[in-house]
Every structure is written in C-alpha cells, then in structure tokens.
Amino acid sequence: MRVFLIDADNLSSPGWVDEAFKALETAEGSIAVRRAYGSAENLKGLADTLRTWAIRPFVNLSLSKNTTDIALAADAMAFACQQPTPAMIVIGSGDADFVPLVVRLRERGIQVVCVTEASKMAPEAVPAYDRVLYVGHAASARRSSPVPAPAAAPAKARRAAPAVATVPKAAAKKVPAKKTATRNEAPTASPAPKAPARKTTERATEKPVAPADGLTVPRILAAVPALEAGTWQPLGDVAKALRDGGLLGKSALSTKLFKKFPAQFELRPGRQPNEVRLAPPLA
C-alpha cells in the first residue's frame, strides 16, 4: 500500500499537486491513500484538484503555527503502526519540520518520498528522504530565467542530489527607493506634484485608496516582499506571511483583504482564487 499525505499549506498550488500525482503513478503505481491537510482557505483553492484525484481533505483548526504539520505527522505514524504496514509514505511538503517523522518511518522499514516545489525544499531535509520529487520546474524557470532547471539525478541514485534542493527563490525585482513625504516636512517654495513612493506601487499613487482596517498597500508589500516582483504568488504563502506579520487574523480570508484593493492586486482564478499578484502599473 502507498500513502500520499499532502501539507496543503506548503504544497498549495493545484498544478503542483496534479503534477505530483501524475509523476508518482507513473513511477510507483496506484496511490491507495490520498489525504490533504490544511486551512479551509488553502483547501478551498485546491477544491477542483481534490475532486479530480479523489483526495480526502482534512481541515485543520486555525490555532497556531505548525498545527497542520502535527495533524499530518499523527496520521503518518498511525499508518506506520497498522497492519499491513505501508510500503511507501509520500509527504507533500518541503518543510524541515517533518525530518523527525521521516526518520521514524524509515526505522520501521517504510520507504519515504518527498514531493515539493524546488524553492520550498529545505536543504537540510533532503538526506532524510529516500527520494525527493520536484514539481513546478517550468513555473520556477519562468519566474527566474537565470536559474537553471534542477539537473536529473542518476537513475541508480535513490536520493535527490542536495544541489537540486538549493535552487534559490526567484529574486524580487529591485526598485529604487524614494523618500516618502512626512507631515513634519516643510513645504517648498514651488510645490511640485508628489512622485510615487516606488515604481511597483505606481497604481496606488495614481488612484489613492483609503486604508482598509488600518492596512495600506505599502504595509502589505512590506510584509510580503515577493509581491513586489509583480509575478503570481501562491495565495496560501501570501496569507501565511500576512498572518506572521500581524496583518491578517487567523480566521480572516486573504481574498477579502485583497478585494479591498482591486486596483492594486489581481486574483486568479476568479471563482476560487489560489494565486495573487501586484497589478502592473497603468501604461
């Protein structure tokens, strides 16, 4: 029996999950147990994929950090203790938090495979697994063209090469910082139109938006710098960064927050958004 347990707070893109199942079934055969753990928001973004692959969703209580990891680990050990013991357990996450779990599963004679997007893989976790399967290579290449795609490991090697795991994240586009005017600034003799604070927030300065619940676009960008690149980002990762920065409540939906700034942020797909980006400046 093969078991696939997905950390939907980490492996949060429908395309990644779909690619993972296709690769696993081609290489290993049918996956008997299929489960996804995560917040209600992230699981909602994976709704179509969960239906396509008949994956059972397990909504995690929004209590504090790492509760999803603990829920997944508890079920993994339960499978390891049952009879017959699974031949393989696949963990859909690149978090280093799962290393103690992986060690215990391997001690019980279970083959443990990791499925993750390259930029989300913790390098120190690679040696713990029997094999690491990377997904989303094409998307990573589009976001950062100078970074080469990870090289394929030799056929006889059971573990992925550590060099593959250290593929850096796509670098956010640097923009020149400008001084922001303050209330205590003395007015000049010939006042000039106020210049935008930075290039990536040009749309915000062209059409001022009143703060929503104390939030502004610059505060959101400061909490999630990856958005400044203007590329599509997984909504689950962005929501986690906003919660860690104290800008989003544990039970609040990030989609509602971004919909308060329709001129500055774009969500896709329209029905059940799972990605967000900073809208490009108006021409």
Tell me the domain boundaries of the chain. Answer: 2-165, 199-278
Q: 2-165, what's its fold?
A: Rossmann fold (3.40.50)
Across 172-200, b (16+ Cβ under 10 Å) vs e yields beeeeeeeeeeeeeeeeeeeeeeeebbeb
The pLDDT value given to residue 189:
52
pTM: 0.51
The pLDDT value given to residue 254:
83
The pLDDT value given to residue 47:
93
The pLDDT value given to residue 177:
52
Output the six-digit token pair for 56: 């059972």
Q: Which residues of the chain have pLDDT under 50?
A: 138-169, 172, 180-186, 197-212
pLDDT in tens, 161-188: 444 444 444 554 555 555 544 444 445 5
pLDDT in tens, 40-72: 888 999 999 999 999 999 998 766 667 889 999
The pLDDT value given to residue 213:
54
Please name the helix (run of DSSP H) or strand (run of DSSP E) that holds residue 48, with its range, or none: helix 47-52
The pLDDT value given to residue 272:
79
